[in-house]
Homo-oligomer: A and B are copies of this chain.
Amino acid sequence: MSQRSHRAAPEHTHPDDVPVQTALAALADPVRIQLVRELAGAADWERTCGTFDVPVGKAALSHHFSVLRAAGLIEQRDAGPKRVNRLRRPEFDERFPGLLDLVLRDAGDAGDAEDAGDSGDDRRPGA
């Protein structure tokens, strides 16, 4: 018998079973983007749910984690009273190549501080 925990394990969805639209919707939220970024900067199973620096209550936080799970972005495991998280980077990367990199690289700016190596596609309509 499993003496691990009597608590229901969270429902996980594999990235393979996630439609693109769901993945995009999951990442199109500032709070969840922040969660993913902090998670990417930590080791697997290191961060517990309560240790993230996001401006929402724990109820909303729990909801966001649920969305991330359903999108195949994270995996959760119970560790005593806490719940530790892991970013499913390899699996998600295989299903949606480059997507995670985009979110992690673009840390909040809209691209104004890019390099000057502009390929110069500067066409304007109605010229």
- Which A residues are within 8 Å of any B CB, using their own CB? 2, 4-5, 9-22, 24-25, 27-30, 33, 75-78, 90-91, 94-99, 101-103, 106, 108-114, 119, 121-127
Selected A-B contacts with CB under 8 Å, 19 pairs: A2-B127, A5-B126, A9-B122, A10-B125, A12-B122, A13-B119, A17-B112, A19-B106, A19-B108, A19-B109, A19-B110, A20-B106, A24-B103, A28-B28, A75-B125, A77-B126, A91-B121, A97-B102, A98-B102
Closest chain B CB from A98 CB (angstroms) = 3
Given contacts A4-B126, A98-B97, A102-B97, contact A28 B19 (CB under 8 A): no
- From the candidates B16, B103, B109, B110, name the one contacting A112 in the complex (CB within 8 A): B16
Those 4 A-B pairs whose CB atoms lie nearest each other, nearest first: A98-B98, A24-B28, A25-B28, A19-B110
Q: How far apart are the CA atoms of A12 and B77 in the complex, in Å?
A: 45
Majority SS at the chain A contact face: loop
Check A20 against B119 for contact (C-beta < 8 Å). Answer: no
Closest chain B CB from A46 CB (angstroms) = 15
Closest chain B CB from A49 CB (angstroms) = 14
Q: How far apart are the CA atoms of A28 and B12 in the complex, in Å?
A: 21
Closest chain B CB from A17 CB (angstroms) = 6
